[in-house]
Amino acid sequence: MSGDYDYLFKIIVIGDGAVGKTSLTVRFSQGYFKEDYKMTIGVDFAVKTVSVNTNNGLKTAKLQIWDTGGQERFSYIRPLYYRGAMGGLLVYDVTKRESFEHLENWLEEVGKHCPSIPMVMVGNKTDMPGRAVSLEEALEYAINHNMVYFETSAKEGTNVEAAFGDLTRILIDYT
């Protein structure tokens, strides 16, 4: 039975190591934040079914969320990881400027493997002190690259559903 959903999407979560990709994925798919899981090696995915309001009413989508699981360091895995991806979250850490500056490289890589898939930009760890990127600067970057922008805390659960939910809505309405 394929049954209970209208859409099936493969979504990728990319960005530098330690920005919170796994935490966001786990928070969204399982609803908790784990302080001390081990960094996974290779590719992992989580599955979550969501209902979102679209231009055609309430629709249900099953998301297959591919977490990079340390592939930041293993470039040979990337083609497998990107294959068939339909949308993604582009994540940086608002307290780590370098991770913001590397967004360009990640976008370039996405462009190579899966050109023109919708990406939602995410500034994570808003619960932490010491911002290194202002909201204005982040928004400007997102607008210039045609992305919606969310600020999240995987730790507190802030905006995590909104970010994944909006990407799902964009995938249904605009692709």
Q: Which residue has the tokens 């209970």?
A: 4
Q: Which residue has the tokens 């760890």?
A: 125
153 binds Mg ion (CB under 5 A): no
The phi, psi pair for 115, rounded to 5°, reads: -60, 140
96 binds ligand G3D (CB under 6 A): no
Task: Select from ligand G3D, Mg ion, none the partner in contact with residue 71, using the beta carbon and a kind-dependent cut-off of 5 to 8 Å.
Answer: none
Q: How far apart are CA 171 and CA 9, in angstroms?
A: 8
Q: How far apart are CA 70 and CA 118, in angstroms?
A: 23
Site string for Mg ion, 6-45 (x = CB under 5 A): ---------------xx-----------------------
Residue with Cβ nearer ligand G3D (9 or 92):
92
3-state helix, strand, coil in the chain (%, to 5): 35, 30, 35
Shortest distance, position 96 Cβ to ligand G3D, whole Å? 10
Task: Select from ligand G3D, Mg ion, none the partner in contact with residue 14, using the beta carbon and a kind-dependent cut-off of 5 to 8 Å.
Answer: none
Q: Using the 8-state DSSP alphabet, how is residue 72 labeled? A: G
Task: Select from ligand G3D, Mg ion, none the partner in contact with residue 77, using the beta carbon and a kind-dependent cut-off of 5 to 8 Å.
Answer: none
Q: Which residue has the tokens 């991806």?
A: 85
Query: What does DSSP say about strands 44-54 and 57-67: parallel, antiparallel, or unpaired?
Result: antiparallel
Considering only 12, 14, 19, 133, the residue that binds ligand G3D (CB under 6 A) is 19
Considering only 7, 14, 22, 59, the residue that binds ligand G3D (CB under 6 A) is 22
Which residues of this protein are in contact with ligand G3D, per CB under 6 A? 17-23, 35-36, 124-125, 127-128, 153-155
